[in-house]
Structure 1
Amino acid sequence: MASFRITGGTKLSGEITPQGAKNEALQILCAVLLTPEKVTINKVPDIRDVNKLIELLGDLGVIVKKLSAESYEFTAKDIKLDFFGTEEYTKKAASLRGSIMLLGPLLARFGKAMIPKPGGDKIGRRRLDTHFIGFEKLGAKFLFEQKSNYYHIDASELKGAYIHLDEASVTGTANVIMAACMAEGKTTIYNAACEPYIQQLCKMLNSMGAKITGVGSNLLYIEGVEALSGCEHTMLPDMIEIGSFIGLAAMTKSEITIKNVGLEHLGIIPDTFKRLGIKMEFRGDDIYIPSQENYEIESFIDGSIMTIADAIWPGFTPDLLSIVLVVATQAKGTVLVHQKMFESRLFFVDKLIDMGAQIILCDPHRATVIGLDRQINLRGISMTSPDIRAGVSLLIAALSADGESTIHNVEQIDRGYQHIDKRLNALGAKIERID
């Protein structure tokens, strides 16, 4: 298990470019299974979850060719369906939650699939009903083997259907879209997730010959086609990394320029950080954050305490609430952070409290942060990263704190952030990786 040793209290400066979007990558990489032709993907992030999925695709028989540091070519001509059910497949697929999105392409192209219960962050209940109900509406039949912990799916006759998703799940929407692309007839998906990642998936599929309309809304129409062809696709910059860098700049009083952010795809992320008092300038497609000694949280028009809550797109992404919470600890003012979607994601605040932050954990979903306005600096401690986003939040806290901090289990951070220690050290951070 690797750890970071961080010496805090140093101002950073310079330019940093966000990686390709992790949450888009997991969908896009699964989509290469929809065609036997070559698919070229650019801006692929070099992170643990993505690399594990690429390795799994290779095990399934996909020919994987690395063209450059961020570009890959995939040819899914001969898929080894007998790899499913093997001990190796079980171990790899169960450890990666993104493996659930293999189902849609496999059902569409081969009419069958099997998968163990997937893993991922322990951030609360993350049910799979949306995926399975959507597949069932398209005609798939399910069998869950309790003994082997495996889902077996027969989808030999997929047919278009009207599907009203029970929740606007991003991965659920992606899975159903991929399955419906080659189903017979027309599929309507209502209450679909409409995140930029879903828009990107639809853009890619349409370039492969799919017929998807309504992209960008929560009402999608899909005309099934018999086959899909190859394509070239470039991923968006990772909006979660961009938000993390904004928070990092504010907490460490740093002057940072975030390059090539894909500003039109960031939604209300910049405005939400502005509500915390963080100044920024948009320079073309870059975000410039000046060094700030202090920043003050806004209140609502009626004078009540600011509340920042997650919501389905185009609302504020839940993946950045941990960053908002840690940034608020050194702001002037008070904010209520309301994490609606996952009931375990705020449990890392005990580490921030140990560092000197003033936080009241109201319940599993809400935390009130009383900003210290830099009157009292956070202090370095030893802690463990519970998940990807909390891990980076603790890293940001450690970089702003007095003294030395140690973060254990940084493999969690590596799952979502590409070479984060090296990239931040290039800006002046003092992070030592200890294996």
Structure 2
Amino acid sequence: MGTFKIEGGHPLSGEITPQGAKNEALQILCAVLLTSEKVTINNIPDIVDVNKLISLLEDLGVKIQKKGKGSYTFKADDINLDYLQSDQFKKDGRSLRGSIMLVGPLLARFGKGYIPKPGGDKIGRRRLDTHFEGFIKLGAKFRYNREEYFYGVEAKELKGTYMLLDEASVTGTANILMAAVLAKGQTTIYNAACEPYLQQLCKMLIRMGAKISGVGSNLLVIDGVETLGGTEHTMLPDMIEIGSWIGLAAMTKSELTIKNVSWDDLGQIPTVFRKLGIQLERRGDDIYIPKHTNGYEIQNYIDGSILTIADAPWPGLTPDLLSIILVVAIQAKGEVIIHQKMFESRLFFVDKLLDMGAKIILCDPHRAAVMGHNFKSTLKATTMTSPDIRAGVSLLIAALSAKGTSIIHNIEQIDRGYENIDVRLRAIGAKIDRI
């Protein structure tokens, strides 16, 4: 188990560039299975979850070549479908949540898709019903081995249909979309997710020859085609990492520039941080954050009531940023309620922040009230364990702002989503060592 040793209380300065988007990468990489032609993908983040998926694709028979940093070519012209039934696949697929998105492309192109019950963060229930209900509506037969927790769908031919998703699941929409592009006839997906990463997947599929309309809305219409061709795709910067660096700058009273953020794809993120009183300046496609020498003050609602920050499907705020926003609020002036609607275990890392001296009331599994210190007292260094990717980075931000030396164990969770985070933080002045 890896460990970070962090000496907090030092202001940072300089420039930091966000990695490619993790959540986009997991969708885009699965889409290479939809064609036998070469697909080139750029700006792939070098992180554990993405590298696991690339290894899975290679074991499936995809020919992979690395062109340079973050740039690979993929050619899925000789897929080994027997691997899907192997014990090795049942083990490897279980370790990665994103492996579920292999099923749609495999079903569309080869008539069968299997997956063990995926793992991932321990942040609450993450059901797969939306995925498989969509496949069934397209004409697939579903089976589930309860003893091995092994899912499967099979179909001689997928047929387009109308479906209203029970939730606007990003991975569910992506999976069904990838199955529908090669189905016979027209498929309509209503209550579809419309996050920028899903829009990126749509644009890539269209370049490959898919016929998709409604991109960016919650109503997608797909006219199936017989085959798809190769393409080249460059991934967006990771919006969660961008939010992490905004929060880090404010908490450590640092002057930072976040480079190449793709402002137009950030949605509510700049607005939400401004509601916490954090100053952001757009400079071209960069975010400049000045040193918050006098702190930052949370805005109340216009009637004077306490601000609530909650997650919602796009264009609402992504749930992946709420852990970071909660930590940033610890040193704000004022109070805020954090409402994490999607996952019932994501706020359970609050106890570690309480040990550091934060003023937080965990109202229930989904809501926390934060009373900001306004920098009148600093957080205390402590020893803690990272429970998931986003909570791990939130604890890291807290440790960098705290007085003294903190220890964070189980940093493999952080490595799952953040590329060389210790190296990149040291480049802007952080005192952090990997043990």
> Structure 2 length normalisation: TM-score?
0.99
1:348-377 Cα shifts (integer Å, max 9, x gaps): 000000000000000000000000001110
In structure 1, the partner of 2:112 is: 112
Paired-residue identity, %? 72
Equivalent position of 1:179 in the other structure: 179
Provide Cα deviations, 1:243-302, integer angstroms capped at 9, x if missing partner: 000000000000000000000000010010000000011000000000102100000000
- Is 1:347 equivalent to 2:348 in the alignment? yes
2:47 alignment partner in structure 1: 47
User: SS state of the match for residue 212, structure 2?
Assistant: strand
Within-5 A mapping of 1:266-345? 266-293=266-293, 294-345=295-346
Measured against aligned partners, the alpha-carbon deviations of 1:385-419 in whole angstroms (never above 9, x if no partner) come to 00000000000000000000000000000000000
1:6 aligns with 2:13: no
Report the RMSD for the aligned CA atoms in angstroms.
Answer: 0.5
In structure 2, C-alpha distance between the alignment counterparts of 1:101 and 1:280, rounded to whole Å: 36
Q: Aligned equivalents of 1:84 and 1:198: distance in 2?
A: 26
Structure 2 residue runs without a partner (length 5+) = none
1:159 has 2:159 as partner: yes
**Structure 1: which 5+ residue stretches go unaligned?**
none
Aligned to 1:207: 207
Task: Judge conservation of contact 2:135–2:153 (CA < 8 Å) in 1.
Answer: no
List aligned pairs for 1:5-404, cutoff 5 A: 5-293=5-293, 294-404=295-405
CA distance in 2 between partners of 1:76 and 1:193 (Å): 27
Task: Tell me the residue number matched to 1:416.
Answer: 417
Structure-2 separation of matches of 1:125 and 1:314: 23
Cα shift readout 1:12-64 (whole Å, capped 9, x = no counterpart): 00000000000000000000000000000000000000000000000000001
In structure 1, what is the Cα distance between the partners aligned to 2:427 and 2:88?
38
Q: Which amino acid aligns with 1:109?
A: R
SS in 2 for 1:72: strand
What is the number of residues matched between the two proteins? 434
2:389, 2:360 → 1: CA distance? 21
Aligned partners of 1:366 and 1:86: how far apart in 2? 42
Of 306-315 and 149-158, more deviation after overlay is shown by 149-158
Aligned mates of 1:125, 1:148 — CA distance in 2: 19
For 1:202, the aligned partner's letter is C
Q: CA deviation at 1:148?
A: 2.0
In 1, Cα distance between equivalents of 2:171 and 2:373:
38
CA drift at 1:149: 1.6
**3-state SS in 2 of match to 1:315:** coil
- What's 2:427 paired with? 426
* CA deviations over 1:104-139 (Å, ceiling 9, x no partner): 000000001211111111101100000000000000
Aligned partner of residue 85 in structure 2, secondary structure: coil
